[in-house]
Amino acid sequence: ALVLAHQTRDTGQPAVQDPLGTRLSYKKLITGAQVLGAKIAPLAPQGAAVGVLLPNSAGVAVTFFALQTIGRVAAMLNFTAGPKNVLSACTAANISVVLTSRTFVEKGHLENLITALSGQVKIVYLEDVRASISFVDKIKGLSKGGTPAVKISPDAPAAILFTSGSEGTPKGVVLSHRNLLANC
């Protein structure tokens, strides 16, 4: 659907823009997702839920689509829910890896949350992943274009969203690719 939007709706304007001023064209978003996806694929098996602990930014869009292209399920963690509820969400969704950002953790004063999570899941900082990306990785990502790394059924899980946990522990709501596209 992202590739189709690029082909049919690209007006030259940014596809994603965040409050920090990051602007990504469709091509940059797709290429970034391909490059990041190739780097994070070894962290979890196909079909596994991967925690995403990031602010609303261009980076979270690239991360979400990177997980989609490699057939992982983006489990969107609510950093405001507190350590107990985020740990509960990780347990409920069987999350063993959480993708986050050092800058986000520092600016959000989320050190206690990361300390709590570190005992249960592997924390991967996207700054470290970015530092490992070579020119060759970028060329490979560009050459893949919009071809997904793996073929996924429209009814396969695409994302997990969590309730606030206001009436107990957070509950995971699994959305399929078909569910997400129906909303588009």
Cα 34 to its chain centre, rounded Å, is: 12
**What distances in angstroms separate CA 35 from CA 11, 103, 130, 142, one per listed residue?**
24, 21, 9, 8
Distances (CA, A) of 151 to 28, 35, 68, 109, 166: 22, 17, 10, 38, 37
Residues 122, 148: Cα–Cα separation, whole Å: 25
The answer to whether 77 and 86 are in contact (CB under 8 A) is yes
> Which residues make Cβ contacts (< 8 Å) with residue 41, sequence separation at least 6?
70, 72, 149
pTM for this predicted structure = 0.93
Give me the percent of the chain exceeding a pLDDT of 70.
99
Amino acid symbol at 91: T
For 2-27, write each residue's pLDDT tens digit: 999 999 989 889 999 999 899 999 99
- CA 25 to chain CA centroid, Å, is 18
pLDDT tens digit string along 72-96? 999 999 998 889 999 999 999 999 9
Q: Report pLDDT for 170.
A: 79
Please say if the pLDDT value at position 184 is more than 80.
no
Per residue in 143-172, pLDDT (tens digit) is 998 898 999 999 999 999 998 766 777 789
Structure-token pair, residue 108:
């959000």
**Whole-angstrom Cα Rg for the chain:** 16
Round the average pLDDT of the chain to a whole number and report it: 93
pLDDT of amino acid 171: 85
pLDDT given at position 165: 66
